[in-house]
Chain A
Amino acid sequence: MSDIQKRIDTLLEATQNWLADYNLYLKDAIDRTMREGYFSFEDINFAIESIKKSISQSAMKAWVDRTGLDDGPGASGQNVLCLHAGNLPLVGFQDAFATLLSGARYTGKISRKDPYLLPTFLNEVKKTNMWSDMDVQWTHRLDDFEGMPHDAVIFAGSESSVPGVKEAIDKLSLAHQNTRFLIRTAHFSMAYLDTKDEQAIQNLTEAIMRYGGKGCRSVAVVVSPFSLDEVRGEITQQVKGFWLENPQHEEPFPKLKHQYAYNKVIERSQLWLEVFLMQEGGLEFDQDFVCYWVQGDEKKVAELASDFGSQIQSIYISNPAIEISGFKQRTEFLSNAQQPPIYWKPDGVDSLEWLIT
């Protein structure tokens, strides 16, 4: 059996053990995460279920085949540092998983905003014979790794946060001269809604509202041939249903109400949802819990995506016949927005492929 097949099998086994009903460590981590107010039970559960659905022998093989990992040594011998953000439950799972699958040694800086969930998976990995304590290490404090240079560093950042992170990496000697950096900068996704179909609007609601709209896969901008007023009733109904099952974990700042009042002043069409706001136009991106509605066609989607540049993660469509010119690689189905396959490409870059290149 090849090394890569062994890694696939072992990771599958570790994942199954991690997600098994008898895994009290995961149950405890979920309980603590909820109790300490990091995320809601519904969002944690959703994130775990999404991972569960995305991992299978066939999905991992497909990923490996696509990257050509089966033909080469992979990233064996490499030390990879993953700096995990904590804006969503288990948001760093794919990076940790890709690192392990690549054959590299994993060093993880676990987010203080999601401190318990990912370590329970890593513990299961360490229980296997394939990865030792030296191969899989993590901490909640970056300075614990001081003086350990890495061959690759992966993290998500922005124009304002990257310099600070790089400075800390330098200061703690976590990189060497030839260290490669994979820095993601996408912040949000867009959706094109060309139908009033109930399922499409339900998918759109999930894509907007899940995790309070915070993930980079969450929809912050909807482009539609319909005005917001034309689908107000349908959206309100779906949102009510969504919140009955998934009460929003975080309350918005009072500033959201000021935005509502401002929209009233300038007679901007809007949908006030008590803890979320949808508004037509005014794409300022100056606060969370706002989704912007833009009336337009596929050309408008392409135009906006071009304007937003690297801030855009994905463009979702509800109908396979729709083509967003120039953005085919970034187009996905709306139904996959919050449940991507394990091999999805953050910022258009396949993490596994990047690690073994």
Chain B
Amino acid sequence: MKNWVDVVFTNRLSFKERAEQVFEYQFEHSPVYRRYCLALDDISVSRDSQLDSKSESKYVKERILNRVQDDITSCPLLPIKAFKDAAVTAHPGQEAELLFKSSGTSDMQRSIHRVHDANLYDQSLLKGFQHFYNLDNAVIWGYTPGYTDNPHSSLIYMIQKLIDQDNSGLSRFLPLGEPVNPNAIKEVQRQGKQLILFGAAFGLLDLLEFDDINLPSNSIVIETGGMKTYRREVSRGELHRELSKGFELDGSRIHSEYGMAELLSQAYASGKWFSTVPWMQVTIRNPDHPSEVLPPYQEGLIGVIDLANVHSCSFLLTGDKGVMDKKGRFQVLGRWNPKDLRGCNFLIDED
């Protein structure tokens, strides 16, 4: 079997070359992705009965590969909700090493990401973090529930792995519902380390409710999203202002992480714009025509090619609204809500 860690993270091959290999592999081995590509193909739609025939499958694969050689964005993007409705895996019938689930209550249908190579995720999250931050000198704090209580959270798994990299003993999950111990902050300073604090939007705001927290000026706070809950909502701009004020940090020290259970790579932002790691590519897609890539500064659905997802599906269309700049950086603008469809609806700009 191919060593995918080498393929995904290598810099000897271009992104397109790696993506082609991953596409071919997933088309061959992931029944869900293959079915999606076949059904989406024009000929397959009109020749329904031949969808699963081997010759048809080969023909479609070659056709898509030809298109991919011209333009990598022509790989069909599987709607990310497929992780809720089907087993998205290139190893059907095999037990996964890790199982990540999207957040939600027990009665909600949650996405399940079957991770067949935990080492690949470890490499992705560590290399990804190191792409943006100096992990060697960092003390990682997570103001989130611990891994033991949440073994299916990809985010908490990631924070745990980052914590495990630090030999100083200072990295840890902070106890929830308690103020930060000022002595712990002093100890980080004394050892000349850089403090990096992870937390979800409202978790961090709740932490600030306990007490004034004066973090060392070189600290970084990374919010991991969750700006909208069933009880509360805050904009990213407002959140960052509050965090900057509360932690007494310059605004440039408040960062964001974009990740989800369905992706094994993360994007980070030190301002409004997220940047990706070299094995992940983001495009903005026309919501009415998901194969179409939108030009910079036009809002649409965020499409992701995440090569670290090699054992599930790398070509995904999220349900998030986003916009891209000319440098290939992107903003996340919340969930995509289709405008009111059907029925009489007087629209001031249209009617």
Contacts and interface: CB of A to CB of B under 8 A. Distances in A.
Contacts of A187: 340-343, 345
Contacts of B78: 265
B348 A161 contact: yes
Interface in A71-87: 83-87
Contacts of B51: 264
Interface stretch (B34-42, B186-194, B258-266): B34-42
Contacts of B344: 85, 87-88, 91, 156, 184, 215-216
Contact of A84 (B38, B81, B289, B346): B346
Of the four ranges (under 10, 10 to 19, 20 to 34, 35 or more), the interface on chain A belongs to 35 or more
Nearest to A156: B344
B45 interface: yes
Nearest to B351: A111
Given A155-B346, A272-B45, A255 B290 contact: yes
B346 A85 contact: yes
Interface in A139-186: 142, 155-161, 164-165, 168, 184, 186
A85 B290 CA distance: 28
Contacts of A111: 346, 351
Contacts of A188: 342-343
Interface in B18-40: 32, 35-36, 38-40
B343 A156 contact: yes
Candidate in B48, B81, B342 with the most chain A CB atoms within 10 angstroms: B342
Contacts of A155: 346
A202 B308 CA distance: 51
A84 B351 contact: yes
Contacts of A253: 288-289
A260 B38 CA distance: 11
B211 interface: no
A142 B349 CA distance: 10
B295 to A, nearest CB: 18
Given A112-B350, A261-B36, A272-B45, A266 B86 contact: yes
A213 interface: yes
A286 B340 contact: no
A265 B86 contact: yes
Nearest to A187: B343
A330 to B, nearest CB: 15
Contacts of B288: 253-255, 287
A187 B51 CA distance: 36
B338 A286 contact: yes
Contact of B346 (A165, A213, A287): A165
Interface string B74-94: 001011011001100000000
Nearest to B40: A261
A126 interface: no
Contact of A161 (B39, B40, B290, B345): B345
Contacts of A262: 36, 79, 81-82
Candidate in B81, B82, B348, B350 with the most chain A CB atoms within 10 angstroms: B348
A248 B216 CA distance: 65
A265 B85 CA distance: 9
A236 B83 CA distance: 31
A164 B39 contact: no
A1 B110 CA distance: 68
A112 B341 CA distance: 18
A70 B37 CA distance: 65
Interface in A231-284: 253-255, 257-258, 260-262, 264-267, 272
A160 B339 CA distance: 8
A38 to B, nearest CB: 12
A286 B337 CA distance: 8
Interface in A207-233: 213-216, 218, 220
A142 B347 CA distance: 12
B153 interface: no
Interface string A106-117: 000101110000
B35 A265 contact: yes
A272 B44 CA distance: 12
A113 B338 contact: no
A312 to B, nearest CB: 10
A168 B78 CA distance: 40
Candidate in B32, B38, B344, B349 with the most chain A CB atoms within 10 angstroms: B344
The 3 closest A-B pairs by CB, nearest first: A187-B343, A216-B343, A261-B39
Interface of A: 83-88, 91, 109, 111-113, 142, 155-161, 164-165, 168, 184, 186-188, 213-216, 218, 220, 253-255, 257-258, 260-262, 264-267, 272, 285-288, 311, 313
26 contacts: A85-B344, A85-B345, A88-B344, A111-B351, A156-B346, A157-B345, A161-B348, A186-B343, A187-B341, A188-B342, A188-B343, A215-B344, A216-B343, A220-B342, A253-B289, A254-B288, A261-B39, A262-B79, A264-B38, A264-B39, A264-B51, A265-B35, A265-B39, A265-B86, A286-B338, A287-B338
